[in-house]
Chain A
Amino acid sequence: MTDAPVMYPRKPQRIKGRSIAIIVFLSMAALFFCIPLYVLVVTSFKEMEQIREGAIFSLPARWTWEAWSYAWFDACSGLTCEGLRQGFWNSVAILGPSLVASIALSMVTGYALALWKMKWAGTFLFVLFLCAFVPFQIIMYPLIRLTVSLGIYGSMTAIVFVHTALALPVLTLIFRNFYKDIPEDIIKAAVMDSGSFWRIFIEIILPMSGNILIVVLIMQITSIWNDYLIGVTFGGLGTKPMTVHLANMVTVSTGTVSYNVNMAAALLTAIPPLVIYFVLGKFFVQGIAAGAIKG
């Protein structure tokens, strides 16, 4: 998707003035893009006394992990003062089942829509396409009532359920677009062989899905981990994800604000998706192209 379709060999050139200008300009833009991350990092390692001097870009006079450990173990979020770790483990507990449920469901649905003839498949695809753009607010209250009547409102199950439901339209369209390009002959041969819906899925479709699976996986990890609205709406006491804890921590300010703790807390929340991004960036870009309709 991102590779150039035609690559003409370029003549080896000396670096010209224009190239230097472009690289200098891009480097300056890159520096600007790094400013927010830089101030987060340096502030989180400073002591409050130095922060009060007001030099936002200066390096810490003494590097200290104190703010980090305070943010992780002791910082107050709402009524409890147990640090961000509770939120972290909540987010982990939400992430696992949400990933499995949303990907498994949309994968099977996408496979059925792409390769098995059903009369209403066209209508259903159109509905999926429409619903991929629906703002969350219009289905928020009915979903609250739905989860209340299922008896799961306020639990992690509710958050997992809503993540699975909301991801369904986009993910199904992505999988369906991927599977519909599978050569017909392969499937025909497979049907001759066994013809079973699930056997074809497990023996042929699953092994072919490695590439799209990792793209979708990264897309979903970042979007579930970074979600705030679903977590705050459907989570109850003790089940809210890390982003909600972070937001409570930085907005509810009683007494003096410990900016270094806030910055450490923000970084702790940002580290998991950032690590995935820097390790698997190539797939992240593909995910953007595939999920572009997600907006």
Chain B
Amino acid sequence: MGLRWSRITPQLAMLPAVAIMVTAFLGSIGWTIFMSFTRSRRLPEYVIDWDRPFRQYERLFGDAGWNISLNNLVVLAFGSALAIFVGFILAALIERERRGEDFFRTVFLYPLAVSLIVTGVAWRWIFNPQYGIQHLLQSMGFENASFNWLNDPSTAMYAIIIASVWQSSGFYMALMLAGLKGINTEIWSAARIDGVGLFRVYIEIIIPMMKFTFLTCAILLSLGVIKAFDIILAMTNGGPGQSTWVPAYFTINAMSQKGNLGYASAAATMMLLITLAVFLPLVALTAWQQRVAKRGAN
């Protein structure tokens, strides 16, 4: 559909949006990618370094901080995937037992309404070695209980994962709940007549039927993990040492602390490539889903 009566006004109305997309997005992305091939330090140099155009990237891959960041990205992605699992369990239980649906949904979703800075304050307090859970457990007689996760480089990432699972489980629950409600309830009666157990219905019928929902969740989770910054800043500020650095943190650190523009641009470009690697399957998925839907309609 489309209206043809007035051609000029709608195009004029689009002008601000087009200007923003061209300058703030496309132009800016191009500029940053260009910068990553220059030797810019504090100020931009508009000359590509033809002798070694990839010098920033070479440095980046040799940087221990960057390798830690990539490692943590994978750890965070797999750890946070727990939120999809928790979200599905909660959604399935809520959907099975309709009583109290609104109440439980409200409780599981409220962390999403709160700033991640606040989330960080709350969880850091719980993990506080002097007055937090650790102290409580020790005073209850568990002398060896150790909950000082945030100050230990080998466990700090897990503390962040717990906080982010707490924060995002409700989100996946809401998506799963919408998916579950789209499933025809006759499946349940059919399964009951055949005497199939509840657990098997979920494993063999429901979960395969919800593969699109699961894939969407997985992709959204990956995109969220790449962007993770606030939670890291609020929980550990990257520490102890560099042990909880992630690419988003690394990039901003390279820009604002080290003041190295070319280097930060290379890191930002790598972030964009990682995003694309996750994003392209999403496009393929959407296309596939539409084809399946079309075939189903015929």
Contact = CB atoms under 8 A, between A and B. Distances in A.
Contact of A289 (B24, B115, B124, B175): B175
Quick one: which of B24, B248, B264 has the most chain A CB within 10 A?
Answer: B24
B80 interface: no
A137 B117 contact: no
A169 B184 CA distance: 34
Q: Majority SS of interface residues in chain B?
A: helix
Given A124-B21, A134-B25, A262 B178 contact: no
Interface string A272-290: 0110111001001100110
Contacts, number: 282
Of A19, A39, A135, chain B has the most CB atoms within 10 Å of the CB of A135
A113 B94 CA distance: 39
A254 interface: no
A203 interface: no
A262 B121 CA distance: 8
A267 B121 CA distance: 10
Contacts of A250: 121, 124, 234
A223 to B, nearest CB: 10
Interface class of chain A by DSSP: helix
A143 interface: yes
B290 interface: no
A176 to B, nearest CB: 11
A276 B23 CA distance: 34
A274 B111 CA distance: 9
A270 B111 CA distance: 10
B2 A138 contact: no
B145 interface: no
A114 B152 CA distance: 53
B245 to A, nearest CB: 13
Interface string A114-156: 0111100000100110110111111111110110000000000
Contacts of B26: 127, 131
B181 A51 contact: no
A30 B178 contact: no
Nearest to A180: B1
Contact of B114 (A19, A184, A273): A273
B237 interface: yes
Interface stretch (A59-67, A78-86, A190-198, A207-215): A190-198
Interface in A41-95: 43, 51-52, 54-57
A102 B107 CA distance: 29
B171 interface: yes
A127 B230 CA distance: 27
B126 A56 contact: yes
A168 interface: yes
Given A23-B97, A40-B125, A138-B29, A54 B271 contact: no
Given A139-B29, A228-B230, A284-B109, A197 B6 contact: yes
A202 interface: no
Contact of B116 (A6, A25, A169, A226): A226
Interface residues of A, number: 101
Contacts of B171: 288
Interface string B169-186: 111001101100110110
A109 B14 contact: yes
Nearest to B102: A281
A165 B20 contact: yes
B105 interface: yes
A169 B102 CA distance: 31
B268 A228 contact: no
Contacts of B181: 2-5
B78 to A, nearest CB: 18
A229 B252 CA distance: 10
A295 B220 contact: yes
18 contacts: A2-B181, A26-B90, A26-B104, A33-B110, A56-B125, A116-B2, A116-B10, A118-B11, A131-B21, A137-B271, A141-B261, A184-B1, A191-B3, A226-B116, A265-B121, A273-B113, A281-B109, A289-B175
Closest 7 CB pairs of A and B: A117-B2, A142-B28, A226-B115, A277-B113, A197-B9, A139-B28, A36-B122
Interface of B: 1-6, 9-11, 13-14, 16-18, 20-21, 23-29, 31-32, 35, 44, 90, 93-94, 96-100, 102-119, 121-126, 128, 130-133, 135-136, 139, 166, 169-171, 174-175, 177-178, 181-182, 184-185, 216, 220, 223-224, 226-227, 229-230, 233-234, 237, 248, 251-252, 255, 261, 264-265, 267-269, 271-272, 275, 279
Given A246-B118, A247-B233, 7 more contacts: A134-B272, A138-B32, A141-B264, A141-B265, A250-B124, A288-B175, A295-B224
